[in-house]
Amino acid sequence: MTHHMLGKVLYRRYQIVQSLGAGVFGQTYIAVDIDHPENPKCVVKQLKVTNFHPSHLETLRLRFLTETETLKQLGHHNQIPELIACFEENERFYLVQEFIEGHALTAELPTKNNFSYFWNENEVIKLLMDVLEILHFVHSNGVIHCDVKPENLIRRVSDGKIVLIDFGSIQPVDFGTDTELPIYRIPVTSLGYIPPEQFIGQTQLSSDIYALGMIAIQALTGLTPLQLQVDPRSNEIIWRTQETEVSDYLTMVISKMIRYSHKNRFQTAAEVYQALQQIPEYIYTKTVEAEYTIVETVDSQNLANGKNGVRKTSPLLTGVKVGLVANSLVMGFGVYSLLNSNTPAPSETDTLYKATEDFQSGDLNGAIAKAKSIPVTSNVYPEAQATIEEWLSQWQIAAEQYKTAENAVSEGRWSDVLKVAPIVPDILYWQTKTDRLVAQANRHIEVQSKTLLARAYEKAGAKDFNEALNYLNQIPKNNSTNPVVELKVAEYTQKRHVRAAYILQQAYKKATNQDFNAAVKYLEQIPEDTSVYATAQAKLIEYTQKQRFVQGEEVAMSTAQTSNLTRNQTSTNNSFINGASQTRLQDLHPGDFMQEVNIR
C-alpha cells in the first residue's frame, strides 16, 4: 500500500503529493520541493528492499552509491532527467530526479483500435534519430537502458523533444551472463519491446536498438509488438505488409534493428544513426508531395472502400481531404435531384412509407396490401413492386435465422446465437426478437467467460501458460471480457515463449553439470509452437544420446561387479554341495521327503 506515503516529507524537503505506481525495482512518486521558494515538482523513487539483514543492506548501500554516480553522469544529457539528490532514510533508499512536464509517446502512437493517423517516414526518422542520439550517450557511459518503450519516452512540453526516463533497469555493458531477467515480474507494457537475449541474461547494446525498432514499427503500422506475427522458421518479426507504405531503405534499416539474433542487428546506436543519414532525399520530397496531391488523386470508389490510395497524413490535412470529398458528394446528390425532377405525388410516397412502417413493425401482410394499393400509373409503382419482392425475401431469411437462434438457445449453444444475430436482415420486428435471445446468450456467456478467465489466471499463476491460453481461446468473442482476453492472450503467448527460453537455459545448465536426465526432462517441457522448439529438439537428441552413453557405462560397471559376485557365489555353492553329498540317506527323517497319498 502506498497511500500512507502521501503528504509525507522525506529528507526534510521532499513532500509526496502523488503516487505514480510501482515497478520491479521500487515505488515512484511525485513530490514538491518545499525547501525551494517556487516549490517545483520532482520525481522520487523509493528502491525496493526485500531483505533488511545488515550484511544485505550494506551490499545494497554500496550498489546504490555506485549506480547513483552513473545516474548523475547520465543526467548531464539534456534529454535525460537530472538526478537532483539521493539519500537513505530509515533503511530505505531514495532517488530524487527532475520532473519532466509532458506526455508519454503512447499518446501519439496509433493503435489497433485507432488507425486514424499513422506516422509518415519523416516523423519516424526524426524520432529514431532523436532517441538514437540519447542511446549513444547512454551506451557511451557504459550502461544499457534495458526498458526502452513508449511509456519511457516523454514528449517534453517546453521544446517538443523526446526525453528518455526510468533508468531503474539499467545494466552495465559488461555484466555477467548469469543474471536472468525476472520474467514473471516485469510490467506487461515492457513485453514485446524486450528482445529475446535479455530474458536469459545476455543483454547487449543492440537490445535497446531492438526496442526502439519495435516502437518505429508501431508508429508505421499501429500494431504493438505483441500483435505482430513471427516467422516460425526464422523467428523474425513480420511487420511490412501491402498496407504499410514505407520505403525499401527505411524497411531495411528497421528490420536490421529488430533481428532475432543480436549478432545480426546494428551493434551500436551510431551505426543506425549513420544508416538513417544515408536515406535518399527523394523520400522526403516524395512524402511532402504526397500530402499535397492526395486530394486530387482520391476517387469516390476508394472513398467508398475506406481507402485513400496513399498513406494517411496529419489529422489536420486528413480533415481537409475528407471535407473536400464530402462536398463533392453533396454536389453529386444535388445533380441527382435535378435530373429526377419528376417527383411522385406526396400521397403515393406516404403510402409506401406507411407500408414500410408496417413491415418494420411485423405486419407483413398489411405492408404488402398498402404497397399493392399504389396505382400502376404512379411513378412509385415500380419501386413498390420491387420493394414487395425484397420484403418477401428478407422476411423469409429473417424468420429462418431467428428459428436457428431459438434452437441454439434451447440447446445452450450461446456462441451460435451471437453468430446468427448479425445475419438477421434489417427488419425491426425480427431484430427486436433476436435481441432478446442475444441478451439471454450474453448473460450466460459472461458467466462462462469469467469462469474461463479465472481458470486462465490460475494456470498462468502456476506458470502453465499453455493451459492458460487454452482456457482463453475457449472464451467466446464479443463480450465484456474480450479486451482483457486479447491483452492476456498476447501476454501469455509472449510469456510462453519466454518461459520456453528459460527452460532451455535450465537444460543447458543441467547438461553442463553432466546431469543429462534432468536436461532431457526440461527439454521435453518446451511446447512445439515456441521460438526455441527447434533448438530444444536438436538438444534433446544430443542429450538423449549422451544420457544413453552414460547409462551404458553404468550398466557395464554393474555387470562387471555382478560377474565377480557370481563367481564367488558359485564357489561357495560347490562347497556346500560337496559337503551335503557326504550325508547318509538313513540319517534323513521321513518327513523330509514329499509323500504321495492315494485317495480312494
- Quote the pLDDT of residue 321: 26
pTM more than 0.75 = no
Please tell me whether 45 is known to bind a ligand.
Answer: yes
Give the CATH superfamily of 3-99: Phosphorylase Kinase; domain 1 (3.30.200.20)
Query: Which residues lie below 8 Å from residue 498, measured CB to CB, with a gap of 6+?
Result: 183, 199
Q: Say whether domain 103-279 belongs to CATH 1.10.510.10.
A: yes
Question: Active-site residues: which are they?
Answer: 147
Q: What Cα–Cα distance (Å) separates residue 6 from each residue in 16, 91, 110, 485? A: 5, 19, 35, 34
For cell 496531391, the residue is: 293
Residue 519 corresponds to which cell in the numbers above? 536436461
Q: What's residue 214's pLDDT?
A: 97
Q: Which residue has the cell 517534453?
A: 156
What average pLDDT values come out for the chain (600 residues) when binned by 10 residues? 72 89 77 92 87 77 81 93 92 92 92 72 94 95 92 94 84 48 56 88 92 96 91 91 86 96 95 89 43 34 36 29 26 31 55 84 90 86 88 92 92 85 86 88 83 87 86 75 80 86 90 90 88 90 86 65 56 49 40 35
Q: What is the pLDDT of residue 271?
A: 95
**pLDDT, position 381:** 87
pLDDT value of residue 415 = 82
Distance (Å, whole) CA 435 – CA 296: 44
| Cell numbers that stand for 436 in this block | 432478446
Tally of CB atoms within 10 A around 536: 21
Own/partner contacts of 66-70, CB < 8 Å, gap of 24 or more, are 67/170, 68/95, 70/141, 70/142, 70/143, 70/170
